[in-house]
Chains A and B, each alone.
Chain A
């Protein structure tokens, strides 16, 4: 069974601080995605990374896929209250387009 562990589970920070969320597994994934989910809604796709070592930027968010395609990180610079939400990584099972979700990181950014 493929497991994706995210750390930390919870994070509460002040506006303007930086943070990093980690997504780790012992399995190799053909691609990895990051999502943000608001309460009572479905997740919204932020990024897809495919190549080992790949780095993608989305405004203040930086995503990195590990060289071995087993792990990933999400770095947020100068966090804002609007960044508050549940962040989920999801790894693709061997090119099947089927994604297994990580355990989640609940972020709260205080004004």
Chain B
């Protein structure tokens, strides 16, 4: 089946630094990937839609200059948290939809736990 790999699985960084998270589809191509964040004991909140070869679409309230998204190829999207602060600590998850399948093909990565100290 389809596999989405996220890297790193966890990261600790100092306040003020930037962190890049990769979301890679291993055995399929995806023109669209989605980025979510999840706080402890809560549901997933959609942050942005990542489109291959074009600018990402951000949800209301998500700062595009703080959460930089790049989708340079059909198998890779990256999320960079710039000038991270402790309130950015969260579980970040990406999902991808294979080109060749319908909605049943949605696959999520295993997530990245970011801790900003």
Chain A interface residues toward B at CB < 8 A? 1, 31, 33, 35, 40-45, 48, 50, 88, 92, 97-104, 106
Contacts and interface: CB of A to CB of B under 8 A. Distances in A.
A25 B113 CA distance: 30
Interface of B: 4, 6, 32, 34, 36, 41-46, 49, 60, 91, 93, 95, 97, 102-104, 106-111, 113
A106 B60 CA distance: 27
A48 B103 contact: yes
Nearest to B112: A42
Task: Name which of A50, A92, A101, A102 has the most chain B CB atoms within 10 A of its CB.
Answer: A101
B104 A42 contact: no
Given A48-B103, A97-B97, A42 B108 contact: yes
A100 B45 CA distance: 7
A98 B103 contact: no
Contacts of A100: 46
Contact of A42 (B41, B42, B111): B111
A33 B102 CA distance: 12
A101 B45 contact: yes
Given A41-B110, A42-B110, A97 B44 contact: no
A40 B111 contact: yes
Nearest to A41: B110
B43 A31 contact: no
B46 A45 contact: no
B1 to A, nearest CB: 10
A41 B43 contact: no
Nearest to B94: A42
B32 A42 contact: no
A86 B81 CA distance: 27
B108 A43 contact: yes
B103 A88 contact: no
Given A41-B110, A97-B103, A88 B44 contact: yes
